Amino acid sequence: MQTHEISRRFLTHFTNAGHTEVPSASLILDDPNLLFVNAGMVQFKPYFLGEAPPPYPRATSVQKCVRTGDIDEVGKTTRHNTFFQMAGNFSFGDYFKAEAIEHAWNLITGSQESGGYGFDPERIWVTVYLDDDEAFHLWQKIAGMPAERIQRRGVEDNFWSMGVPGPCGPCSEIYYDRGPEHGREGGPVVDEDRYLEIWNLVFMQNERGEGGAKKDYPILGELPAKNIDTGMGIERVAYLLQGVDNVYETDLVRPVITKAEEMSGRRYGAGNPVDDVRFRVIADHARSGVMLVGDGVTPGNEARGYVLRRLLRRIVRSVRLLGVTEPVLPEFAAVVRDTMGPSYPELVKDFPRIESVVRNEEETFLGTLASGLKIFDMAAGEIKSSGGSQLPGDKAFQLHDTYGFPIDLTLEMAAEKGLSVDEQGFRDLMAEQRARAKAAVKKTGHGDQTVYRDLLALGATEFTGYQELDTEAVVRGLVREGVRVPSAVEGDIVEVVVDRTSLYAESGGQESDAGLIVGDGVELEVLDVQKVARKLWVHQARVRRGEVTEGLAVQTRVDPEWRIGARQGHSGTHVVHAALREVLGPSALQSGSYNKPGYLRLDFAWSGALSPETRSEIEEVSNLAVRNDLPVRVVYTDMGGAQEMGAVALFGETYDETVRVVEIGGPWSRELCGGTHVERSAQIGPITLIGESSVGSGSRRLEAYVGMDAMRYLAKERALVQNLASMLRVPDEDVPARVEALVERLRQAEKELDKLRAAQLLSSAGELAGAAEDINGTALVALRAPDGIGGNDLRTLAVEVRNRLGSRPGVVALFSADGPKVAFVVATTAAGRDAGLAAGKLVPAFAPSIGGRGGGKPDMAQGGGTEPGGIDAAITALRGALAS
């Protein structure tokens, strides 16, 4: 049975049982606790936590997931994967244990002819929580499961929570016995290789308190509504039903290995376990990488981008070790597109952009790979020449952190050179880095939104801002410092929840509206508006006068000037995005945006800077759209209808069942968007691009002013040109040529000054050499040269002084400060080197004094530091090193 068919049967089984089919969420959701969606229930968290009322009593989905905690183990075994699909059925206070068990049993053991999976009931085992007698007896009653195939397990295996205070409960796991050739008898408590877990049924019935992630927390009581959350591993079921041993041999993964075999001429499973690891790494990471890029992740050096970069570079490294030297990522991406496309058609539609991102990352890595290999070869040569046999941990970490070398690549290269690697030192540095990353995540942890639970139960806030600026409303609740309060008085800053509001809440890249909340004798200045659970508008406001209380009748008022500018900024973003795609092609998709009155910022997937001509063309296309006064239309539909219309969705956004499509000029610009917009494009006013820059590998950023801000920017530019023209006494159009001529004259003058400075420095070389001090028979010239002398001039002077020392053993050390930085050069004479003096080895003696580092060869070394005040101490340290 093909994997796509397994997913289809799951969804059909549960929709026939009254569940609403919910599409997979993006792999990147707005959850500070998660880099990527890692379980099927993630998109339903607000319903389980009580932060929002569920729109349906029961649901089913096949969710794409990525887990990255053990990337280094991928390929070494057949059990570790980064990307997988989790099928699930969910009940929000509707049905509970009996129905969950019955649904699962009927699907798993139902005949394939009737739409089931056809597993042999005699090979099914289950586990339940230690004291969950109810589940134990239900398995016996519903499935006829004999007691000896129902095993009880403890809190770490069969009790579930989110790791934070909130819903929790016992779970029941379903296992399939693969047979005696796969391990020992005795059920899953004895051998989880033979007895493979395929489904976990979570019975969410309790509420937990503070404590450990998996155990050591109190159970506070039962939930008022009991829920069901299940997860079935699509890939695990696939390899069982396809009669293969692991996920790497299934229909959706094996084709990537086949492509790698074709490219390398080597064979998977041919008896070379090292090659097999490489094939598995390629297959797993290719799938994960394409799915991540498809959901808008671009390679980078932080967070999600770093994980993606690591995955893609591990593919390139593995392919190189299989003997392939040509580019490979676009070809592997095409295989993933063809295999995964039937379930995720957006991969086919968006493939030009995906291919561009992975191709650019491979080209970038090949450049850093060459640089990293040079660093490694130099380090290995120095170690061997000094009689050492181990690459230091910090060097291995540098190769990993700076050049993207996984540790196993460094280990392999070192072994080829006859060297070992200080793995413990490397792992210590990695642990420090992970600790810093975890600390950063904790700083942005998931806020406690339970205070809004009762307010959410009253219903969603009605947003009226599309139709009006002023709206009559009633205060439903007040929150201060995370606690509900009955009232707030003048000077207080409080969060205000009302039943209706005209004030836009920050979302979709658009800043929240500025405005007021006013009532009888009460006025509040709105500082910010945010959404909770996508349904509740929370206004942060300062009480200017009076006392605001729950139940008070008020009016929300949007600052009209702010709204005009906000609409121009957001509509301008859509126009620039459409112009960008028209000029660069459909693969130049927006990956993020920010807009506020008069300003917009748009990030998009693209490799390489835009030329001035391209920028001008984008600006011209944008302003032509403004001049043509295109109509702006809003259409409400479902996601399927939006996709049929060709509407562009923003990566990482979560959309409701009904979506809002904003058109500017019909199909020219058609995007899913909840923001506020102009009625016609001419209302945007002029659009002026003010910047284009890189925001990471494969991602660029455009910035622009719109409306009056664009006019003010252009007026300022015009005044600048006129002032320059006046100063240079030329017409405006001659300013560039005159400035270019002045710059060239300045360059020539600087060259002449450099020559004079060099001559002046060299003239003092004889005097400096004559003043050399003798330390144990070594002539030492160590001094602070005039501030501001660069490294090249220092080097020239040091060589000249060294030459003046003649045949004596000698050392020249020159330092120069330039603001907060220090440059230094150390040179040794031939006689000094014969006596055992090496410039590079002298640097560590004084570098700490100036907070610096550097290195070089025995005859010459140079470097820099950050503490000019330590130059005298550095010279003293150097004297001490020579004296000893």
Same domain, yes or no: 42 and 165 = yes
- Would you say residue 627 lies in a domain? yes
Across the range 295-315, mean pLDDT stands at: 84
CA dist list (Å): 853 to 177, 383, 649: 61, 18, 49
Q: Where do runs of H (alpha helix) occur along 386-477?
A: 393-403, 407-416, 423-443, 453-457
- Would you say residue 421 lies in a domain? no
- Would you say residue 727 lies in a domain? no
Say whether 842 sits in a helix, a strand or coil. Answer: helix
Same domain, yes or no: 244 and 257 = no
Tokens (6 digits) for 619: 């600006």
Between CA 333 and CA 337, with CA 334 as vertex, the angle to 5 degrees is 90
Q: CB neighbours of 793 closer than 8 A, spacing ≥ 6?
A: 754, 757, 758, 761
Same domain, yes or no: 215 and 257 = no
Closest to 835 measured CA to CA, from 814, 803, 810: 810
pLDDT at position 758 is: 64
pLDDT at position 532 is: 87
Q: Which residue has the higher pLDDT, 545 or 758?
A: 545
Same domain, yes or no: 148 and 237 = yes
Burial class (CB in 10 A: 0-12, 13-18, 19+), 635: middle
The enclosing domain of 656 has a CATH number of 3.30.980.10
Between CA 361 and CA 364, with CA 362 as vertex, the angle to 5 degrees is 65
Beta bridge partners of 531: 537
Contact 307, 293 (CB under 8 A): no
Predicted TM-score (pTM) of this structure? 0.67
The enclosing domain of 809 has a CATH number of 3.10.310.40
Beta bridge partners of 699: 605
The enclosing domain of 243 has a CATH number of 3.30.930.10
Q: How many residues are there in the chain? A: 884
Contact 37, 43 (CB under 8 A): yes
Q: Please, which contacts does 482-490 make with residues 24 or more away whose CB atoms are closer than 8 Å?
A: 482/448, 482/451, 483/451, 484/451, 484/454, 486/549, 486/550, 487/547, 487/548, 487/549, 487/550, 488/543, 488/547, 488/548, 489/543, 489/546, 489/547, 490/543, 490/544, 490/545, 490/546, 490/547
Task: Please enumerate, by residue number, every residue annotated as part of a binding site for Zn(2+).
Answer: 570, 574, 673, 677
pLDDT at position 443 is: 39
Burial class (CB in 10 A: 0-12, 13-18, 19+), 293: buried
- Would you say residue 164 lies in a domain? yes
Say whether 645 sits in a helix, a strand or coil. Answer: helix
Same domain, yes or no: 534 and 576 = no
Closest to 197 measured CA to CA, from 218, 178, 221: 178
Q: Element (H or E) spanning 566, and its range?
A: helix 560-584
Q: How many CA atoms lie within 13 A of 151 on its CB side?
A: 18
pLDDT at position 815 is: 92
What is the rounded CA–CA span in Å between residue 722 and residue 742? 17
According to the 3-state scheme, what is the secondary structure of 184-214?
A: CCCCCCCCCCCEEEEEEEEEEEEEECCCCCC
Q: Tell which of 248, 271, 294 closes a domain.
A: 248
- Would you say residue 104 lies in a domain? yes
- pLDDT band at 212; cut points 50, 70, 90: confident
Residues 349-368 as b/e (b if ≥16 CB within 10 A, e otherwise) read: ebbebbbbbbbbbbebbeee
Q: CB neighbours of 548 closer than 8 A, spacing ≥ 6?
A: 475, 478, 487, 488, 494, 496, 517, 519, 522, 524, 554
Residue 326 has pLDDT above 80, yes or no: yes
Same domain, yes or no: 467 and 593 = no
Task: Give the structural domain span for 511.
Answer: 460-558
Return the percentage of the chain with pLDDT > 70, whole number.
Answer: 96
pLDDT at position 225 is: 86
Same domain, yes or no: 785 and 820 = yes
Contact 311, 299 (CB under 8 A): no
The enclosing domain of 539 has a CATH number of 2.40.30.130
Beta bridge partners of 494: 541
Same domain, yes or no: 626 and 705 = yes
Q: Indicate the average pLDDT of the chain.
A: 90
Tokens (6 digits) for 162: 């989110």
Same domain, yes or no: 241 and 260 = no
What is the rounded CA–CA span in Å between residue 883 and residue 596? 66
Contact 532, 456 (CB under 8 A): yes
- Would you say residue 755 lies in a domain? no
**Which of 139-153, 474-488, 795-809 is modeled with the greatest confidence?**
139-153
Total of domains in the chain: 5
Same domain, yes or no: 695 and 822 = no
Q: Tell which of 248, 274, 297 closes a domain.
A: 248
pLDDT at position 442 is: 41
Residue by residue, DSSP assigns 339-396 as HHTTT-THHHHTHHHHHHHHHHHHHHHHHHHHHHHHHHHHHHHHHHHTT--EE-HHHH
What is the rounded CA–CA span in Å between residue 293 and residue 358? 8
- Would you say residue 415 lies in a domain? no
Q: Tell which of 523, 558, 593 closes a domain.
A: 558
- Would you say residue 401 lies in a domain? no
Task: Please enumerate, by residue number, every residue annotated as part of a binding site.
Answer: 570, 574, 673, 677
The percent of the chain in helix, strand and coil, each rounded to the nearest 5, is 45, 25, 30
Q: 735-763 and 707-728 are packed helices; what angle lies between their axes, rounded to 10 degrees?
A: 60
Which pLDDT tens digit goes with each residue over 616-667? Answer: 999 999 999 999 999 999 999 988 888 888 888 765 566 677 889 999 999 9
What is the rounded CA–CA span in Å between residue 281 and residue 317? 10
What is the rounded CA–CA span in Å between residue 579 and residue 625? 9
* Amino acid identity, position 234: I
Tokens (6 digits) for 431: 């642990």
pLDDT at position 321 is: 87
Same domain, yes or no: 379 and 501 = no
Q: Element (H or E) spanning 574, and its range?
A: helix 560-584
Which pLDDT tens digit goes with each residue over 736-776? Answer: 899 999 999 998 988 788 677 667 767 788 888 888 999 98
Which pLDDT tens digit goes with each residue over 395-447? Answer: 888 887 777 676 767 887 888 788 999 989 888 887 777 666 545 434 333 34
Same domain, yes or no: 110 and 208 = yes
Which pLDDT tens digit goes with each residue over 346-360? Answer: 999 889 889 988 998
